[in-house]
Structure 1
Amino acid sequence: MDTTSIKNLFKLKSVPIEPKQEQFSKKEIDPTNESLEETRKRTYHESGYRDSSRTNGNHSTLSICLDAVYSKFQNEEKEMVEKQQKLKESYVNEQKNRETEIKALFVSQETKEEQLKNKDTEIESYQLTIETLKGEILDLPRNPEKYNVKATRGASAKFWIGFILLIPITLYLTTFYISTSYSAFFKGFDAKSTIIQSVLDAQAFSKAWNEGAIEGAFVTLIPFVFLGLGYLIHMFWENKTRANYIKLGLLFIVTFIFDSILAYEIESKLYELNKTFDSPLFDIKIAFTKIQFWGIIFAGFIVYIIWGLVFDFVMKEFREKDKIRNEQEIRQKKIDFFQEKINVLKKETEEIQTYIGTIKETIIKTRGRIEELQNVIDGVIIPTKDYKLYASEYVQGWITFIGEKIAVSRTEKQTMIDECIATYNTNLETVGANSDNQNLVYLSSL
Structure 2
Amino acid sequence: MNNLIENLFQTNVVSEPQDEETEIKETSLAENEEARKRTYHETGFRDGSRNSGSPLALSICLNAIYAKFQNEEKELTEKQRQTKEPYLNEQKSKESEVKTLLIGKASKEEQINRTDLNVRSVKDTIEELKFEINDLARDPQKYHIEAGKGTSSKFWIGLIIILPISLYLFTFYISTSYSAFFKKFDLNTDIMTNVLDSKAFENAWRDGTLEGAFVTLIPFVFLGLGYLIHMFGENKSSINYLKIALLFITTFIFDAILAYQIEEKIYGLEKTFEAQPFNLAIAFQTIQFWGIIFAGFVVYLIWGVVFDFIMKEHRERDKIKHEQLRRRKNVQIHQERISDINIQKEKFLTELNELNQRIATEQGRIVELQRVIDAVIIPTKEYVLYASEYMQGWITFINQKLHLSQAEKTSLENQCISCYQENLKHVGASEDAQNSVYLSSL
The TM tier, using the shorter chain, reads: 0.7 to 0.9
Once the two structures are TM-superposed, the CA of residue 127 in structure 1 deviates from its matched residue by: 4.1
Contact 1:151–1:321 (CA under 8 A) maintained in structure 2: yes
In structure 2, distance between residues paired with 1:275 and 1:422: 156
Q: State the match for 1:397 in structure 2.
A: 393
Which residues in structure 2 correspond to 1:385-424 (within 5 Å)?
385-424=381-420
1:383 is displaced (CA, Å) by 0.6
Matches of 1:198 and 1:407 in 2, distance apart? Answer: 163
AA matched with 1:107: I
1:78 to 2:84 alignment:
no
**Mind listing any 5+ residue stretches in structure 2 that lack a counterpart?**
1-22
1:172 partnered with 2:173:
no
From 417, 421, 425, the equivalent of 1:425 is 421
Q: Alpha-carbon deviation of 1:306?
A: 1.0
- The more displaced of 362-371 and 266-275 is 266-275
Alignment match, 2:41: 45
Q: What is the aligned partner in structure 2 of residue 68 from structure 1?
A: 64
Residue deviations 1:272-327, cap 9 Å, x none? 56667776655545544544443333222222111111111122223333334444
Q: How does 1:297-316 map to 2 (within 5 A)?
A: 297-316=293-312
| Structure 1 residue 106: Cα displacement | 3.5
Work out the CA distance in 1 between the residues paired with 2:69 and 2:402: 28
- Structural RMSD (CA): 3.5
Whole-Å separation in 1 of the counterparts to 2:376 and 2:406: 43
Equivalent residue in structure 2 for 1:157, among 153, 160, 171: 153
Distance of 2:151 and 2:193 partners within structure 1:
42
Contact kept, 8 Å, 1:237 with 1:244, in 2: the verdict is yes
* Cα separation, 1, equivalents of 2:240 and 2:297: 20
SS at match of 2:441: strand
Q: What's 1:247 paired with?
A: 243
Equivalent position SS for 2:137: coil
User: How far apart in 2 are the matches of 1:223 and 1:380?
Assistant: 113
Distance of 2:140 and 2:24 partners within structure 1: 92
C-alpha change, 1:419 and 1:295, in structure 2 (3 Å) is farther
Question: Do 1:29 and 1:82's aligned partners in 2 also have CA atoms closer than 8 Å?
Answer: no
Identity %: 56
Is residue 91 from structure 1 mapped to residue 87 from structure 2 by the alignment? yes
Letter in 1 for 2:29: N
In the alignment, which residue of structure 2 is the partner of 1:13?
Answer: none
Once residues 408 and 402 of structure 2 are traced to their aligned partners in structure 1, the CA distance between those partners, rounded to angstroms, is: 10
Quick one: distance in 1 between partners of 2:357 and 2:179?
95
Alignment correspondent of 2:440: 442
Give distance in 2, aligned partners of 1:194 and 1:413. Answer: 159
Query: Which residue number in structure 1 is paired with residue 292 of structure 2?
Result: 296
**Would the alpha carbon gap of residues 368 and 181 (structure 1) be closer, same or farther in structure 2, given more than 3 Å must change?**
same
CA distance, structure 1, for counterparts of residue 350 and residue 129 of structure 2: 33
Structure 1 residues 113-132: aligned runs within 5 Å = 113-132=109-128
Could you tell which deviates more after superposition, 124-133 or 292-301? Answer: 124-133
**Greater Cα shift, 412-421 or 276-285:** 276-285
CA distance in 1, matches of 2:217, 2:146: 39
Q: What amino acid sits opposite 1:440 in the alignment?
A: Y
1:42-80 deviation per Cα after TM superposition (whole angstroms, max 9, x unaligned):
222233333344444444544443333322222221121
Structure 2 vs 1, CA of residues 252 and 400 (structure 1 numbering), >3 Å: closer, same or farther?
A: same
Query: In 2 relative to 1, CA 441–264 (structure 1 residues): closer, same or farther, beyond 3 Å?
Result: same
Give how far 1:365 is off: 3.2
CA apart distance, 1:413: 4.0
Deviates more, 1:226-235 or 1:133-142: 133-142
Deviation at 1:389, TM superposition (A): 1.4
Distance across 1 between alignment mates of 2:338 and 2:74: 63
**TM-score, structure 1 as length reference:** 0.79
Aligned to 1:9: none
Q: Is the 8 A contact 1:102 1:363 kept in 2?
A: yes
Given the two structures, how large is their TM-score scaled by the length of structure 2? Answer: 0.79
Partners of 1:156 and 1:321 within 8 A in 2: yes
SS at match of 1:33: helix
- Higher mean alpha-carbon deviation, 201-210 vs 152-161, is at 201-210
Q: Distance in 2 between matches of 1:190 and 1:428?
A: 142
Q: Which amino acid aligns with 2:440?
A: Y
> What letter is aligned with 1:441?
L
Deviating more after overlay: 181-190 vs 241-250: 181-190
Q: Which residue of 2 aligns with 1:24?
A: none
Whole-angstrom distance in 2 between the partners of 1:411 and 1:205: 143
Alignment of 1:319 with 2:312, yes or no, is no
Distance 2:207 2:40 in 1: 137
* Alignment CA distance shift 1:413-1:199 (3 Å): farther
Aligned residue runs from structure 1 range 15-414, under 5 A: 32-188=28-184, 193-209=189-205, 211-270=207-266, 282-332=278-328, 334-336=330-332, 338-414=334-410
CA shift in 2, pair 1:401/1:244, >3 Å: same
* Superposed displacement of residue 438, structure 1: 1.3
Q: Matched residue of 1:153: which SS?
A: coil
Q: Give how far 1:439 is off.
A: 1.0
When structure 1 is superposed on structure 2, of 246-255 and 340-349 the one drifting more is: 340-349
The 2-side partners of 1:64 and 1:214 are apart by 134
Q: Using the TM superposition, give the Cα deviation of residue 375 of structure 1 relative to its aligned residue in structure 2, in angstroms.
A: 1.5
Larger deviation, residues 60-69 vs 255-264 = 60-69
The 1-side partners of 2:34 and 2:213 are apart by: 130
